[in-house]
Amino acid sequence: MRKRSAPRRHSANKKKPVTLDGAPIQLSIEGLSHEGRGIARHNGKTLFVAGALPGEEVEARITKTHRRFDEAQCINVIQASEDRAEPICEHYGVCGGCDLQHLTHARQIEEKQRIVLDQLERLGKIQPEATESPLHSPASKYRRSARLGVNQLQRDNSVVVGFRRRASNKLTRIDHCPVLNDTLNQTIQLLQNALDQAGQVRDITHAEISMGDQEGALTLRIKKRPSDALLDAISLAANQLDLRLYLDDGQNTLAYTDAADLHYRLPDQDIKLSFEPGDFLQVNAGVNEQMISRALEWLQPTPDDRILDLFSGIGNFTLPLALNAGEVVGVEGSDTMVQRAAANAEANGLANCAFYRANLSNDLRHHRWFNQGFNKIVLDPPRTGALEAIKQLEHYQADQILYVSCNPSALARDAAELVAMGYRFSRFCVMDMFPQTSHVESLALFEKPEK
């Protein structure tokens, strides 16, 4: 039985952050944090400065004080970095979606790579043997999915469709977002227009847009069903953009009229992957395709390989690996995803795939699939990482383990565990899946030393 951890003690005297609006101070910016804020020193404390870049002299105003660090907002750039860029969005600085538009895209990628390597060294005490070229896409129009808030203001009944403001629960009305593809931007406009004309729309809380290669889905998250007149108007407008309308009441997601044919292709592998509204898919199609190709390049699957794909989703890695591997087993925590992946394998004529459901944070030894032998493993975990699963993989003595990371600190922790198990940290690259933001993903390959 797993022991329960002792309850945390909370000091009654623990100080809360103090919000300030003081006089401007002049700062020299020494670096960039993993959140995309400039790093400076002031009165012996570290200061995180939103809107400032390394090498700059700025005026800033302290906005919050903490025991170990303070936060500030840049209000004037005295000496600008040569990497400073003009933001591409009129909402930048207010909308909470992007935090690096004031930095050139090339330097964004450099900083993301530096930040991940720094976390690996500082937290994991490890470094890769080889760092390969980053995977990246254009810095605009790259997103094929988005989640928008919907709010009807009480003061005048006007409707706001948009994204959350920075450090706030309030929404900023967005008519156009430069990181969304054209269809998503057109969908925002049609939804805003339809809701503006509808009157009462307080039963709609969110709208999610997911685009496949040909058709897309517009899913409304609702507290109770809106009027058919409103839904008909939205559905009619959405159909013009090859979008099908869905309703999500928190229990079920149902098509309002005809269901969409949602799918995307991996052109280099000639694989078609179908998905449904609410399924996880990588929002950046271009970087996803590059990621799959690099994974195949590193793993070099052959008919002699038995590969285990943990956190397999709809089969984004499983199916490409199965093209050349002897057998691939995908494991995922959701029954729905397991069924979707199995259907995708069948639709692509891949009979050497098997899919199972398991909670990958729990003991896996009682599962039938776990007791099979695997010589290569893929891990694509959520932000919390895959430490519990990794601890149970040692008995396979797999030749290669590919780790797909969306959280540098979790990668550092898990990579250190793999190195402690005897693996070489042989290859690494960052993936700029989310240009204009501080989010960074990466690929890491671990290999058993040759005997």
Give the residue ranges of the annotated binding site.
89, 95, 98, 177, 282, 311, 316, 332, 359, 380
Distance CA 41, CA 384 (A): 31
**DSSP string covering 134-176:** PB---SSS-BSEEEEEEEE-TTT--EEEEEEBTTSSSEEE-S-
Annotated binding site for [4Fe-4S] cluster: 89, 95, 98, 177
Whether 124 and 421 have beta carbons less than 8 Å apart is answered as no
3-class DSSP state of 309: strand
Q: What number of helices (H) and strands (E) belong to the chain? A: 8, 24
Look-up: residue for tokens 């890769």? Answer: 128
Catalytic, 353? Answer: no
Whether 288 and 316 have beta carbons less than 8 Å apart is answered as yes
Distance CA 442, CA 291 (A): 9
Task: Look at the chain and count its residues.
Answer: 451
* DSSP E strands, 17-158: 18-19, 25-28, 31-32, 38-42, 45-50, 57-65, 69-79, 130-131, 145-152
3-class DSSP state of 204: strand
Distance CA 393, CA 401 (A): 10
- Sign of the alpha-carbon torsion through 81, 86, 91, 97: negative
Distance CA 359, CA 332 (A): 7
Annotated binding site for S-adenosyl-L-methionine: 282, 311, 316, 332, 359, 380
Distance CA 142, CA 330 (A): 28
* DSSP E strands, 300-357: 306-310, 327-332, 353-357
Whether 245 and 218 have beta carbons less than 8 Å apart is answered as yes
Phi, psi of 80 (to 5 degrees): -85, 150
Distance CA 108, CA 96 (A): 17
Which residue in the list 74, 353, 406, 429 is annotated as catalytic?
Answer: 406
Looking at the annotation, which residues are catalytic?
406
